[in-house]
């Protein structure tokens, strides 16, 4: 698993693009696994600090129970809608996958009642439009970056 900083080191151009998309809107969608294995989606916000990507939660949230039981997760970051006349102007969407590691260190926590998770990455994908092609630039831990184009 890689920290955000390690991902940036391995894939600087993709990390820069992902960060630009992430900076365009505040809200994200987190996917976790319920006890029975079915997916659950929750709205979240993320922050960058000390080379890490973080997310938090209020006490008692079901996503906290999901992540404590199984830390695997995915985050979807949507950007504003593209111009209908020029789809290539769309910033694209970013998907992150990996695991969320709960941090209980009171020095790091902003509030003792809240929950804080550091995101460790295994995959980052930036999807966008280029002309008449859908372009996906993907980084996978241990495999590097590759680009996929579809018409």
- Per residue in 4-32, pLDDT tens? 999 999 999 999 999 999 999 899 999 99
CA distance 144 to 56: 29
Phi/psi of residue 29, nearest 5 degrees: -115, 125
Q: How far is CA 99 from the centre of its chain?
A: 10
Domain 4-150 has CATH 1.20.272.10: no
Residue 144, sorted as left (phi over 0), alpha (psi -120 to 50) or beta, turns out to be left
pTM of this structure:
0.92
- Per residue in 55-110, pLDDT tens? 999 888 999 999 999 999 999 999 888 778 888 888 999 999 999 999 987 666 66
The pLDDT value recorded for residue 25 is: 87
Beta-carbon contacts of 105 under 8 Å, excluding residues fewer than 6 positions away, are none
The pLDDT value recorded for residue 7 is: 98
Task: Write down the domain spans for the chain.
Answer: 4-150
Residue 10, sorted as left (phi over 0), alpha (psi -120 to 50) or beta, turns out to be alpha
Residue 40 and residue 92 in contact, taking contact as beta carbons nearer than 8 Å: no
Phi/psi of residue 101, nearest 5 degrees: -105, 120
Three-state DSSP class for 128? strand
């Amino acid at each position: 698993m890689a920290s955000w900083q390690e991902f940036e080191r391995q894939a600087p151009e993709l990390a820069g693009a992902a960060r630009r998309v992430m900076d365009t809107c505040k809200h994200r969608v987190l996917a976790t696994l319920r006890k029975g294995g079915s997916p659950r989606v929750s709205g979240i916000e993320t922050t960058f600090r000390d080379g890490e990507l973080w997310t938090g939660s209020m006490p008692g949230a079901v996503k906290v129970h999901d992540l404590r039981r199984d830390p695997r997760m995915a985050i979807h970051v949507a950007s504003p809608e593209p111009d209908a006349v020029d789809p290539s102007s769309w910033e694209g969407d970013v998907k992150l996958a990996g695991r969320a590691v709960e941090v209980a260190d009171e020095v790091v926590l902003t509030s003792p009642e809240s929950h804080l998770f550091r995101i460790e990455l295994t995959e980052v994908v930036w999807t966008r439009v280029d002309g008449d092609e859908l372009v996906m630039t993907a980084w996978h831990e241990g495999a590097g970056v590759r680009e996929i184009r579809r018409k």
